[in-house]
Structure 1
């Protein structure tokens, strides 16, 4: 997994498969032709997958379930990042979308940053939209490289964007700030939170990666300097921090902790920290579970799929908190599935992980107003012995109790046509994460799927899906 410093069988007892007459046919294509010319900022390094869209994310206005904002990378480079990012806004619950190009990279009019990646969105109760991005002049840990954690603000709900505010800009061979995630407080529009990991390299064998928080208390007009909220120690780092806010205003930051034990063996675990004072102070970490993943490959060719298997995904509903991630525990380490853990006491204690899908990857998570949990994911259950193709399925599983699940198909496509990335090895790539939101009584996924046209390797789609009755 490049984020680390170092290098379709269904569970019949837990998941019921249903048919969905609306799958594929009712999807809306959100992305369009690239707004950028090819090689608009540089000609390399890497292969430019022009007109491709990957790694989407979505957010919903907490006071208006019809107001959705999404984002995705535009024109992915195989080496790292993309030519820029695009946002898309819907005011009818995801049925129609309007694209916008915020200034986050040189291609979109933002300084000398050649590329942008890791876009993440959130919407405040007053309708203000926020966009987090990671921009860079060249790849991380390279001599002379610079990168920035940025936040952009839209006062009209995502239709237009102001200039990006740089929260931190660093570079060189010993530091890298990664995976920014912005959260607008759903209980108070004045507060906005940005979390990310700062990886610091001390020697060839010593490093750390602390969780940092930058905070705005005036609706994104100004930002406090980033500060450490969790320091995991030497030869340990956090991955993919993200904040959810409980109805009482408590912040819960979920992350994966990667660490080396005394023997040098690599381990990962899911953990959370909490803040009862809008991010001023934070609790000690609470371990949720070990993360035991093996990753995903094309069964015929062995080509890896970069699947974000180190990431944990979080959602809140009342006092209940939910975490979903990719894990191999229920297959004895043979293959990854999707698992879910639930806290009924605000994150103090957590249930043992339960299976959602027995053989799948890259989950996203959301919860409806009535407590119905939705998890989307990809799988390869439809694969054939033809090494030239990789039939894939994208599905939604829903549950009213967080234990038993009903699944419906959302889309099918050929994963073999996806863009490729070079890190940490040549892999098929649609993103390390994708979007899923709860909009009224429906789930709205915002996800990329691969195409068969080399000039248009992937696009981003959305649709509205209600839980299957019966659970």
Structure 2
């Protein structure tokens, strides 16, 4: 059973902003291809207040740029279980919200058990320093908190900031410890390029010192202060992590997940992408195993294209989503994977662990996209998310093209459920459609491919799944929507 489809986002709150100098940013692009998609909302995350389940907060990028980031980050706050929403600009992040950086991206938030809401954002300048032809612009991870369910926010605290164009902090996430309101954790990857590649990138075709360590920071006083950033795991040269997420088990063990992308010295067997993890039994002070991480499964994505015109979709194919059952401690992971189609197109892979992440089930396909479609590319399923309800039901959401026809490139959003024995494909069913009507993904903003987000949010409340997702809507290239799906 599903509730009403509710639009979360409204008109851009940055429509009258001039602080970020849009025209100047466009003029600085040497390719002439840079553009901003005004009134678009992409990449939403969502969480529910454990002290008040009617308080739901979504968090998204507002007005997406084609070459990275957005004009700012906006929260959608509901106090009535998702029936209505109020937009709140997160202050101090980007120029348009009174911050120090022209752009912001990768929104993530998490409620602490006392109802305090914490957010973590990447604020950045997309352009490197004027005297450096290569590398990254200055960038910082900014965290702030709300004590009234997302309506007002503290000034942001900088966890890490880099002005050296060799470094980029990226794909961060934040997790409030459900067992202790004083503890909140942040994880991300920190990309590092060689000095030579920054000074003269045309003469450094292969950057053999490139790397991207998994990073960690925490607060032990509820967000008033944050510890200095430190390395959680360094995969070495020509390798990196991405998509870092952290879960807390019922026994208080921390499990840090990441896609471990291994280069020339790949010690994990064929294929560079590995869903890997490390664990901490002392709230993040130390991480085990001490050497290479636990490698759970290979990730085998191809990436999604539109089924008729084969236009690229930026789908987060290198990423994944994970969830923990707060009662049993079972861990669940989903990602895009091409193994089930004979490596012709991506579908949704699922794997689970019942021993705290030490061992994992063989991946199975869980999306229920029809298989008898004339065009096999209409069987693609992408951008999966996973969450667990209070009764242990596992919910997975995804987009697919089953309803595509001869006009446009039509997509929809679905949820599928498993109540027990989830490592078996036959246990998955009760699929529900979350979109009311199919949408043409060709209308989505372009950011190195048609872009709805590198991820979309999924939370639970009681026995209900709470899906927050994006789709083109009216004259907007992408708007944020909410739908409740229950038993």
Normalising by structure 1, we get a TM-score of 0.89
Q: Any conservation in 2 of the 1:211–1:228 contact (CA below 8 Å)?
A: yes
Q: Which residue of 2 aligns with 1:382?
A: 403
Does structure 1 residue 115 correspond to structure 2 residue 103?
yes
Does structure 1 residue 414 correspond to structure 2 residue 406?
no
> What SS does structure 1 have at the residue aligned with 2:282?
coil
Structure 1 unaligned runs (5+)?
Answer: 1-19
Does structure 1 residue 341 correspond to structure 2 residue 371?
no
> What SS does structure 2 have at the residue aligned with 1:65?
coil
Q: Which residue of 2 aligns with 1:276?
A: 281
Stretch moving more, 33-42 or 162-171: 33-42
Q: Which residue of 2 aligns with 1:371?
A: 392
Does structure 1 residue 293 correspond to structure 2 residue 293?
no
Partners of 1:27 and 1:142 lie apart in 2 by 45
Report the number of matched residues. Answer: 436
Partners of 2:183 and 2:381 lie apart in 1 by 36
Matches within 5 A, 1:433-452: 433-452=455-474
Q: Which residue of 2 aligns with 1:405?
A: 428
> What SS does structure 2 have at the residue aligned with 1:260?
coil
Pairwise CA distance, 1:62? 3.4
> What SS does structure 2 have at the residue aligned with 1:416?
helix
Matches within 5 A, 1:131-210: 131-139=119-127, 142=134, 145-202=137-194, 204-210=207-213
Pairwise CA distance, 1:340? 0.9
Root mean square deviation of aligned Cα: 1.9
Per the alignment, do residues 66 and 246 of structure 1 end up closer, same or farther by CA in structure 2, a change over 3 Å counting?
Answer: farther
Partners of 2:6 and 2:146 lie apart in 1 by 24
Pairwise CA distance, 1:139? 4.0
Q: Which residue of 2 aligns with 1:14?
A: none
Matches within 5 A, 1:20-31: 22=2, 26-31=4-9
Partners of 1:278 and 1:286 lie apart in 2 by 18
Partners of 1:459 and 1:73 lie apart in 2 by 10
Partners of 1:93 and 1:314 lie apart in 2 by 24
Pairwise CA distance, 1:93? 2.6
Higher strand share: 1
Pairwise CA distance, 1:56? 0.2
Higher helix share: 2
Write the deviation string for residues 284-330 of structure 1: whole angstroms up to 9, x where unpaired. Answer: 22111100010000122121010001111111112211111111111
Q: Which residue of 1 aligns with 2:21?
A: 42
Matches within 5 A, 1:203-352: 204-262=207-265, 267-284=272-289, 285-317=293-325, 318-352=328-362
Matches within 5 A, 1:52-91: 52-91=40-79
Q: Any conservation in 1 of the 2:397–2:413 contact (CA below 8 Å)?
A: yes
Which is bigger in relative contact order (C-alpha 8 A, separation at least 6)?
1
Q: Which residue of 1 aligns with 2:201?
A: none
> What SS does structure 1 have at the residue aligned with 2:356?
coil
Pairwise CA distance, 1:144? 7.7
Pairwise CA distance, 1:438? 0.7
Partners of 2:236 and 2:123 lie apart in 1 by 27
Write the deviation string for residues 409-461 of structure 1: whole angstroms up to 9, x where unpaired. Answer: 0113221111111x3xxx110100010001111000011111242xx211100
Normalising by structure 2, we get a TM-score of 0.86
Partners of 1:70 and 1:144 lie apart in 2 by 29
Q: Which residue of 1 aligns with 2:377?
A: none
> What SS does structure 2 have at the residue aligned with 1:66?
coil
Partners of 1:139 and 1:39 lie apart in 2 by 20
Q: Any conservation in 2 of the 1:88–1:100 contact (CA below 8 Å)?
A: yes
